């Protein structure tokens, strides 16, 4: 089955002392490609309700913005609407940056850690969960690169190299879009925000709604 994957991040993948975030999160929304168009129709309907209730049309409707304005129920409604879509699952890798002590890794060029952790969650989905025919969309606004290898090129190299090693043919498409162009990216923003609220702020009201749609969960160096 062909899969559409949408990739987002929350927090900051930086080990700078100025970084105010303890955790870094990468979230992947997966859905059978035949159902991916439903995301757009569901979100457009929910967004229309929010706009009709006075939302500024010039401001992007994101989970963080809705929360800032106290529209918690709107977030809940959007999550529940999306989670009802057939084959939709959420996968994530969350990292407690404070627990990574390897200085070579911490001092590496900005973006290397982002690429590395993204590779982990994606290669597990592909080679352990057999997502062997995928169309991956990532948010251009969030893409981090480093001087040695760009994000898309890095993923292609790692995934296709593992395809060769594991003798598993992979059909792979990777494309960067701006979130305003893609309803799948808008959707994964809500899920990423919900997961991040739990780990960074101890607020699991939104995360608990995802329980039946959570797939692969990787939690690195978290306090128990």
Q: Collapsing DSSP states into helix, strand and coil, what is residue 151?
A: helix
What is residue 48's predicted lDDT score, i.e. its pLDDT?
96
**Pairing of β 89-96 and β 23-32:** antiparallel
The domain defined by 3-220 carries CATH number 3.40.50.360: no
pLDDT tens figures, 88-99: 999 999 988 878
Up-side HSE of residue 116: CA atoms within 13 Å toward CB?
13
Q: Say if CB 190 and CB 82 are below 8 A apart.
A: yes
Six-digit token pair at 138? 């990532």
pLDDT classification of 15: cutoffs 50, 70, 90: low
Q: What share of the chain is helix, strand, coil (3-state, %, to 5)?
A: 45, 20, 30
Question: Of the given ranges (10-24, 30-44, 120-134), which has the lowest mean pLDDT?
Answer: 10-24
Mean confidence (pLDDT) of the chain: 90
pLDDT of 4 > 80? The answer is yes
CA–CA gap between residue 54 and residue 33 (Å, rounded)? 34
CA–CA gap between residue 34 and residue 32 (Å, rounded)? 5
Tell me the whole-structure pTM to 2 decimals: 0.93
């Amino acid at each position: 089955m062909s899969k559409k994957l949408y990739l987002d991040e929350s927090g900051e993948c930086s080990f700078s002392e100025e970084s105010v975030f303890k955790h870094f999160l990468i979230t992947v929304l997966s859905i059978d490609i035949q159902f991916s168009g439903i995301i757009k129709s569901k979100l457009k309907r929910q967004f229309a309700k929010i706009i009709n209730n006075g939302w500024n049309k010039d401001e992007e409707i994101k989970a963080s913005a809705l929360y800032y304005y106290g529209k918690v129920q709107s977030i809940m409604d959007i999550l529940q609407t999306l989670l009802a879509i057939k084959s939709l699952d959420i996968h994530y890798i969350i990292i407690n940056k404070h627990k990574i002590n390897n200085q070579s890794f911490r001092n590496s060029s900005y973006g290397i850690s982002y690429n590395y952790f993204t590779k982990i969650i994606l290669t597990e989905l592909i080679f352990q969960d057999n997502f062997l025919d995928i169309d991956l969309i990532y948010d251009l606004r969030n893409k981090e690169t480093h001087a040695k290898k760009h994000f898309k090129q890095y993923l292609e190299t790692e995934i296709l190299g593992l395809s060769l090693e594991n003798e598993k043919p992979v059909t792979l498409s990777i494309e960067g879009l701006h979130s305003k162009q893609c309803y799948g990216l808008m959707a994964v923003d809500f899920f990423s925000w919900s997961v991040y609220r739990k780990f960074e702020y101890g607020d699991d009201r939104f995360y608990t709604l995802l329980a039946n749609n959570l797939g692969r969960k990787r939690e690195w160096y978290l306090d128990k």
